[in-house]
């Protein structure tokens, strides 16, 4: 399997994708879109959108996905077998800490 993952170094979503790929011992190219503008440009070109993480598996682009969604894709397409091992990190958590998410959840979004 050829896997190219377009990820940020410290993002919760990106950590979840890495955790799933490691859970199944899948080798993957970890493309840092935060520190490498060329990788970000490539991700946008291939996925057709600017949000991450994006994971390309054998030419199929999974755009703006969580680790949970990557795992579901792998299992649904019989690319891996079920594995009861717990991932090393939460697989469906954003970049903010749980405390930060709770604090922000009640605040209105201001555009100006």
Q: pLDDT, tens digit, for every residue of 58-94?
A: 999 999 999 999 999 999 999 999 999 999 998 888 7
User: pLDDT digits over 86-106, tens only?
Assistant: 999 988 887 666 666 566 556
Report if residue 81 sits inside a domain.
yes
The reply to whether 25 falls in a domain is yes
Question: Angle at CA 10, nearest 5°, toward 33 and 2?
Answer: 50
Tell whether 110 is covered by a domain: no
> What CATH number should be reported for the domain holding residue 44?
3.40.30.10
Comparing C-alpha atoms, which of 69, 103, 87 is closest to residue 15?
87
Does residue 87 lie within any of the structural domains? yes
Instruction: HSE, CB side, 13 Å, CA atoms: give it for residue 73.
Output: 19
Number of separate domains in the chain = 1
- The model carries a pTM of 0.83
Burial of 100 (0-12, 13-18, 19+ CB in 10 A): exposed
pLDDT tens string 38-63: 999 999 999 999 999 999 999 999 99
Domain interval for residue 48: 3-105
């Amino acid at each position: 399997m050829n896997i190219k993952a377009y990820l940020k170094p410290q993002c919760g979503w990106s950590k979840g994708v890495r955790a799933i790929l490691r859970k199944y011992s899948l080798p993957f190219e970890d493309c840092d879109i935060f520190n490498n503008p060329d990788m970000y440009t490539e991700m946008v070109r291939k996925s057709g959108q600017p949000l991450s993480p994006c994971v390309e598996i054998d030419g199929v682009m999974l755009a703006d996905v969580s680790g949970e969604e990557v795992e579901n894709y792998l299992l649904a397409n019989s690319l891996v077998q079920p594995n009861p091992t717990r991932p090393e990190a939460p697989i469906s958590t954003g970049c903010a800490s749980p405390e930060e998410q709770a604090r922000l959840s009640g605040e209105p979004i201001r555009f100006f």
